[in-house]
Amino acid sequence: MLEAILVYQMSLAWIPKDILNKRNKLWGNFVWSGSSDHFVHPWVRWERITTPKAFGGWGLKDFHLFLKALATKASWRLLKTHSL
């Protein structure tokens, strides 16, 4: 339920790239060390972690691409509907 609310909020507003980079850094630190406070050198590239499980990755979302997809979906909806 919480993730659905976050996705809805992300679809309403554009999140700056710096904030997404900080979020990815905190999430990566947590994945590798169990804590977001200290840095541990990762053993696997972030691109591999964000690759879908069907293609051999871990299946975590890449929020840069996810935000682009939400923006594209919103713009497509505006172009194809006749009312707001």
Instruction: Give the pLDDT confidence score for residue 38 in this predicted structure.
Output: 66
- Count CA within 13 A, CB hemisphere, residue 47: 0
d(CA 57, CA 65): 16
pLDDT along the chain (84 residues), means of 10: 64 79 77 68 78 87 82 84 71
Alpha helices in 34-81 (DSSP H): 46-49, 63-80
pLDDT of residue 39: 66
